[in-house]
Each structure stands twice: as C-alpha cells, then as structure tokens.
Amino acid sequence: MQPYELTLSAAADAVRTRRLSPVELVDSVLDRVGQAEPRLQAYVTVTAEHTRRAARAAENDIAAGRHRGPLHGIPMGLKDLIDVAGIATSASSRVRAGHRAEASSTVAARLEAAGAALVGKTHTHEFAYGLTTPQTSNAWDTGRVAGGSSGGSAVAVAAGTATFALGTDTGGSIRVPAALNGVVGLKPTYGLVPRHGVTSLSWSLDHVGPITRTVEDAALVLDTLAGHDPRDPASLTAPAARYRPDADTDLSGLRVGVPRTYYFDRVDPEVEAAVRGAIDRLEELGARLVEVEIPMTRYIQATQWGLMVPEATAYHERTLRTVPELYQADVRILLEAGELMPAGDYLRAQRARTLMRREWAAMFREVDLIAAPSVPATAVRAGQETITWADGTVEGVSDAYVRLSSPANITGVPSLSLPVGHDTTGLPIGMQLLGRPFGERVLLRAGHAYEQTRPARGLPQAA
C-alpha cells in the first residue's frame, strides 16, 4: 500500500509512531496528484511548495517531541470557498479571478494550528450553486459527474490526492458528492463549525464539514473544527465533546427511524436495496428499527429553494449587476431568478422552516437517528440533465440530488453520508444518518459500527 492510500487514522498513527514521515506522506500524495489530476481535475490550485514546507515543519516538530495530534503532517484539500491567507479563493468563478485572501478562515486556521498540510484548493460548482461540479470528473467513472458543490473535495479524497478535505453544504453539497464518489461526508449541526472566512451561498443554510475515507476519520477532523467563534453570527456554543468513536459495534438500545415516506420515493431500486441492506445490518448490530413518518414533506423543496434563492441573490447583488457576463449561465439564471422572488415568499419559507424544525424535534423524541438514502440515484453521465423514474416521472438532476439531502439543511440537524455498496455498473451508493441537533456522536458511533462490519475499500480504478 502506498502512503497516499492510507486513511487519515492509519496515516496519523504511522506519523505519530514515526513509521512514516510527513514528508514521505506528502510526497506520495503530491505524486498522486500528478498522476490523477489530468483525468479528474479535482483542484483549482495545488500549493505544492506550501505543502512541502508544512510537511518539513511537522517532521521537525514530531522529531523534537512536539506532536500536535492526529492531523499533524496530514495532507488536506480545502474547497475553494475557504480562505487561506495569501492563497487565491476563486469559488471556481471568473468573478473572483485574481482574488487572494488576506486572512485565513476560522476552519483553515484551526487545521493549520493542528499541523495539517494544505495540498491545494478544490473545485466547487461555481459559488457552490449547483449539484454537479462540471469541471471535475467522478473518481469511479470519469464520464460521470462528481456531484456538488464540493465535488473537488470528494474526488480528491476518493482518488488519494488528499487524505481528507473540507467541503460546504447548503442543500447537500458535502453529502451528495461523498455518496457519488464512495467516501464519507459529514454535515454537522448548524452552527457547530464556524463559517467565518468562508464564501457564503445561503447564510441560513450554509455548513462547513469534513469529507474523509472513513467515519472515524470524519470524527478526527470534527474534533478540530468544532467550537464557538463570535465572528460567525450563527456560531453556537455546543456541549464539550470528543467525537472519535470507540471500536464497539454493539448498537443495543439505539432506535433507528426508517422513513415510510419521502426518502424512499422515486429512488433507484439498486440504491434502495443497498440502503435497506445497510439498515438491516444496523439491526443485526443491536439497533431497533422504528418506522417514522417524515413531517411536512410537501413543503421541503419549496422551503429549500425559497430560502436559498433570495439569500444567494442578495449576496451577489453587486457583482450580478456590474459583471453578470462573468457568471456561468446556470448560476446566473438562478441568481437573476432570485431578484424576481417576492419578499412574502421568503417570509413564508422562513415560517415553514420554523414549523418543520418543531415537527422534526417531535419525531426525534421517538428515535435516536434516521437512516435513508443520501441521494436517490448514483452518478449520472456528464451533461445529463434529467432522470426518468420507473413511474415515468422526469426530474432534473439537481432537483433529484438535493431532494433527500436538503431536509437536514432546513432543520439544521446533523447528517452523515457513508458508502454502503455499489450498483451493477460499479458506482458507489451512499446511506445518510440524520440525528438530533448536536447528535454527531450518535451518528458517528452508528456509522463507525456499520463500517467495521464491511471489508476495507480500495481506491477507485478510474482514479
């Protein structure tokens, strides 16, 4: 096994015990970048010299007995919405050409303090306003979409060009590409991870979170990211917690909600079979399955778009009026649509969110988590615009991908996507676990327990 193939936890253990140097690990990952990037295009910018300096500093610190923890010397990618001082943040857009951050975002600063080594900035669907990341190819089949908007981060982790990465999630933008590329993606509770220094899409829906190869790895990154920051108005003071799960696979007493409605409507049969098989595995590990009715399902998509579209347009108001030609056509259309949305519709979406949060809180009094598909279909072919379901319904690709992930953004609850198999063409399938606010430890425990019962996954052949 090459160093770039190691999970974060395995690499961290090897670095800590000095069986692997950070320099060797970084060199392996950068070599992998050189091999894979021509096919995958996961990165906007590769900061190779910056990475090597961080690796040498980590190696010297560890040799001197100054080990900072599991992220010390570990190569990472950051979505190109996340500011790092002195490095371009383009949001994968011509609108931001030449922009360089003057200061680091809170999450980048925390990762740097933990000793992580930045490999580069990963592609996003322009300004995170889309679910495909068209610049980037899927790690399992380069003729298919990567998912978005954090497609570059998910592909980098899947392909071994980063040991872990950060993404942002406004309607599913961490979990969708994680599911489509066979990796783990965590959208934390709204307000748990600060967003200061991160380009916004929709401030009342935006989250920052990790993309990793295992659930344990996601917990290690969350340990560093979580914590209050007064510079983010939405940042919350959460109960002190360490998120790394133990090795116990006994889920006795855990109540797992299985949706009767919504989450299994218009879902590919292979996706449904894999997810239901994974839910059965949770039951075998001791969990009790409880059928639940998802509340207010008819309002979910209207509420998501009713919040996101006007907030995104407000953020882009100046540049949309001064340099509209610099936006990609799909993003410009959505931003212009936001200018036509009545204020009353936005206020109704806010009211619907309040009611939805109340109803979801009541549902979570009956269960500890909910298990469901992350996305209703595997990765579609690049350029494909619609999905036709078995009942003849035609749905836009972005609408389909956001449909099952957006409820967690509207309600602010945490959601973890993890791989649970592949379809007959070899494309990954993801299951998401949703929990109560600040219920990350429960999700990570359940996801880790499930993961321990499955064989270790290798990197995709296409990468």
Catalytic annotation, residues: 79, 149, 173
Buried b / exposed e across 76-107, counting CB within 10 Å, b at 16+?
bbbbbbbbbeebbbbbbbebbeeeebeebbbb
Residues 6+ apart with CB under 8 A from 147: 131, 132, 133, 138, 154, 176, 177, 178, 179, 180, 181, 375, 379, 401
Question: Considering all CA atoms of the chain, what is the largest pairwise distance in Å, rounded to the nearest integer?
Answer: 65
Q: Give the contacts of 215 (CB within 8 A, at least 6 positions apart).
A: 184, 245, 416, 418, 444, 447, 448, 451
Count of Cβ atoms closer than 10 Å to residue 411 Cβ: 24
Instruction: Report whether 371 contacts 257 (CB < 8 A).
Output: yes
Distances, alpha carbon 266 to alpha carbons 147, 353, 440, in Å: 19, 24, 28
Determine the angle formed by the axes of helices 151-159 and 22-40, rounding to 10 degrees: 120
User: Alpha helices of 250-376 — where are they, by DSSP H?
Assistant: 269-284, 300-315, 317-322, 329-339, 343-363
On whether the CB atoms of residues 51 and 91 are closer than 8 A, the answer is no
The secondary structure element, H or E, covering residue 265 is: none
Q: How far is CA 212 from the centre of its chain?
A: 9
Return d(Cα 244, Cα 193) in angstroms, integer: 16
